[in-house]
Amino acid sequence: MSGADVIVFVKQFGGPFIASTVFVLVLFIGFCVAFGFTKTMKTAGGSARVIKSLDERISHQPMIYLAPSAPHGPADQLRAPELLEAAARKS
């Protein structure tokens, strides 16, 4: 194979390969951009522009999160009986 044959081979292989690669990248990036904007539709309340959960999407109500100081009910993991017994044995 001579140098001219290699150049012809690179031109014949490289052109369609690069064109198909660019086509697939444009298709993929276009798909991601087009369907990525659907996530920024206005949600239930406030000025939030991101859907945080399926429940918020269906109910059209913003999620209500508990404050860190809110009571967590009887199942407080930091005060589990097993942990209290282990702490009592250590002291």
Look up tokens 């999620």; give the residue: 63
pLDDT tier, 44 (very low <50, low <70, confident <90, very high otherwise):
low
Look up tokens 């399926």; give the residue: 54
Q: Distance between CA 15 and CA 4 in Å, rounded?
A: 16
Q: Distance between CA 69 and CA 11 in Å, rounded?
A: 68
Task: Express each pLDDT in 8-38 by its tens digit.
Answer: 888 888 888 999 999 999 999 998 888 777 6
Query: What pTM was estimated for this model as a whole?
Result: 0.40
